[in-house]
Amino acid sequence: MKKTIILLSSLCACMVMNAQEKPDSTDIFHNHLQLNALVVTGLIGDAHLNEVPAPISVIRPVDLQGRASTNIISAIAREPGVSQITTGGAISKPVIRGLGYNRVVVVNDGIRQEGQQWGDEHGIEIDGASVHSVEILKGPASLMYGSDAMAGVLIFHPNPVTAPGTVQGNVSTEYQSNNGLVDYSLNASGNHNGLIWDARFSDKYAHAYRNGANGWVLNSGFRERAASGMLGFNRNWGYSRLRLSYYHLTPGIIEGEEEGSIGYVPDLPFQQVYHYKAVLDNTFRLGEGRLKAIFGWQQNRRQEFEESADEYGLFFLLNTLNYDVRYQREAADGWKYATGVNGMFQNSQNKGDEYLIPDYRLFDAGLFATASKQLGPWVLSGGIRSDIRLLHSMELEDRFTDFSRTFPGISGSIGAVRTIGEDVHLRINLSRGFRAPNLSELASNGVHEGTLRYEIGNQDLSPEYSLQGDLGLDFSSRFISGQFALFANRIDHYIFLTKKAEGNPPVFTYTSGNARLFGGEARLDFHPIHSLHLGGSFSYVNGKQIGGPWLPMIPAPRLLSEVKYEFSHGGKLLNNAFVAIELDWNARQNHFYVVDDTETATPAYTLLNMSAGTDIVIKGKKRASLYLMADNILDTVWQSHLSRLKEVGIYNMGRNFTVKLVVFLPSN
């Protein structure tokens, strides 16, 4: 590999492009373009990757295609510093450096995804086939995204715009042996004189999975269906695009019972989750800069069926309006500026006859300004933001009272990148994050079926504030490249659950204290010859309440090591072919939340995985990509510390073989 492969995980990437007319990021990687041509979102607005002091990694399309997973969060949870809280194969919640739930913001189609993400068994309503690339911001990102971005941000990017005068399409399909997962996705797009469009339909279904301890994990099957479309136009003054999407997930609810379905249709209990979205994305050239204006509407409908398949118990109906307006400018003296305002309006209603949280209305707004400048070998950058969140909870029967809260917040970031020679970058960053309590923490009053406990909110909770320092170093040479990152994070008013009374179910209430987390990630790639790669990554996070117990849901230390051999570059039939073998080692997690027997220690385990893949070339053009994957080859019986099914004795998936095929239809 050449010197331009810097950052390893970061440069693994279909980098995020500002202008959709830029070349496909896969081409950028393989053509070894310079790092300063790669543009990411960052914490100071759009910036070149080698100018960003905060830790950012990205995942390119070929890496997403070459991973076996049951949902999009599972597909990215291999990245250093990223984990997932799972409830079977259908539901995964992202965790960044030990923090999850409302401490991670997910951005899709340019707006933050809102789907009652406070719930333990509430996943991310995004069609994985529609995701072209992923950008991961690690650490407080409240500067750009406001409340909830304390742990970081996951940004899912759609396909880049098709080249002018072109119509193209592809068909992808996948099969997994363990759970019988079958999926397919159809995509077509075009660009005629600046009139651009894109359309996709995806379908996925899986029956129960199995392992060596439980046999079949009953009622773990699910069905997922999604559709999306984009219509817009590009002009000299900028562009305007309208995106519409629909998502529907039907997962079975796993309770560890001895009776239940192993088929594709879940038994009771199960959920029905619908997510609808419309986003208008605009960019206008204005003077020396650009004005970006994004407006979105999304509706999340979450229903839970317990006693009858025709009558729901819980039914949350959430409507969200998003807005984001910002101006970006690069001055002649080398300064780069960005300023803007963004936020959302929400209205949540209970439509069922069972309740956990009250109806509520929410409005928030954040005004921010950022700046950066290069001074010799240094790039300095930073910014400040002021937020306000207004929340009104409404009375409902005799269970919920009417109350209002206002949460102001100040957040910011300051950092620097120093280039040492051509191949070494030193990064340092200090950031302050902000998170207002969610409605579940403030006002819940009912049985949370997903956690088998009665939860009571606390209206007196204060916002969480974090202060995190990051130190990173990345380097490259002809034969070796790597990335190292360390962080230390203090959170004031950290919110958590504590047991209030025994019972069936037990009663828990929300309280707060101070917490600290520290850890880091490392990634190394050694290639003694061009085709052979010996690499690995290591992640570690240590989380504890100050003067108290360990924090809950902290991932165990993890080491991923891989040997990969690439061959057949430029072949007439097979191109970019590879074979790889991987060891996934997870240490024993002894640092667990022991209070009220909430968690237990998790034994260490090692998984052996293999994969192979190739592009298929016909008449000089790539017509298909084929991937073969074997996960947990030794059929190891294992439990992730972040599996919500661990405490009821349910283990993770056993041996699984995957075949994935992507066919690229001829374009004009």
User: Quick check: 402 and 395 in contact, CB under 8 A?
Assistant: yes
Whether 231 contacts 189, CB under 8 Å: no
Q: 122: which 2 tokens?
A: 């509430």
Residue with tokens 């008449």: 619
Question: Token digits for 405?
Answer: 């809260």
Alpha-carbon distance values, 154 to 48, 150, 295, 478 (Å): 18, 12, 19, 31
Q: Tell how strand 166-176 and strand 656-665 pair up.
A: antiparallel
Q: What is the pLDDT of residue 214?
A: 95
List, in sequence order, the alpha helices (H) in 293-371. none
Query: What is the 3-state composition of the chain as percent helix, strand, coil, each rounded to the nearest 5?
Result: 5, 55, 35
Structural domains in the chain, sorted by start? 25-665 (2.40.170.20)
> Lowest mean pLDDT: which of 36-50, 222-236, 256-270, 399-413?
36-50
Name residue 281's amino acid.
Answer: D
307/301 Cα distance (integer angstroms): 19
What is the SS3 assignment for 578?
A: strand
Once rounded to an integer, what is the mean pLDDT over residues 260-264? 88
449 pLDDT band, cuts 50/70/90, is: low
Nearest to 413 by CA among 440, 383, 390, 386: 383
Distances (CA, A) of 664 to 44, 174, 616: 37, 15, 10
421 Cβ partners below 8 Å, 6+ apart? none
How far is it, in rounded angstroms, from Cα 134 to Cα 157? 6
Which of 346, 351, 252, 241 shows the shortest CA–CA distance to 303?
A: 351
**CA angle, 171 then 173 then 177, to 5°:** 175
Mean pLDDT across 555-577: 91
Q: Is the pLDDT of residue 408 over 60?
A: yes
C-alpha–C-alpha distance, residues 119 and 518, integer Å: 26
Identity of residue 496: F
pLDDT tens-digit series, residues 462-484 = 999 999 999 999 998 888 999 99
Residues 211-225: pLDDT tens digits?
Answer: 999 999 999 999 999
Distance, in Å, from the CA atom of 228 to the CA atom of 200, rounded to the nearest integer, reads: 5
At 301-347, the pLDDT tens digits run 999 999 899 999 999 999 999 999 999 998 878 899 999 999 999 99
CB-based contact 522:484 (threshold 8 Å): yes
Q: Beta strands of 215-305 (E only): which ranges?
A: 215-216, 222-235, 238-251, 270-286, 289-305
Mean pLDDT of the chain: 90
Asked if residue 224 lies in contact with residue 248, where contact means CB atoms within 8 angstroms, the answer is yes
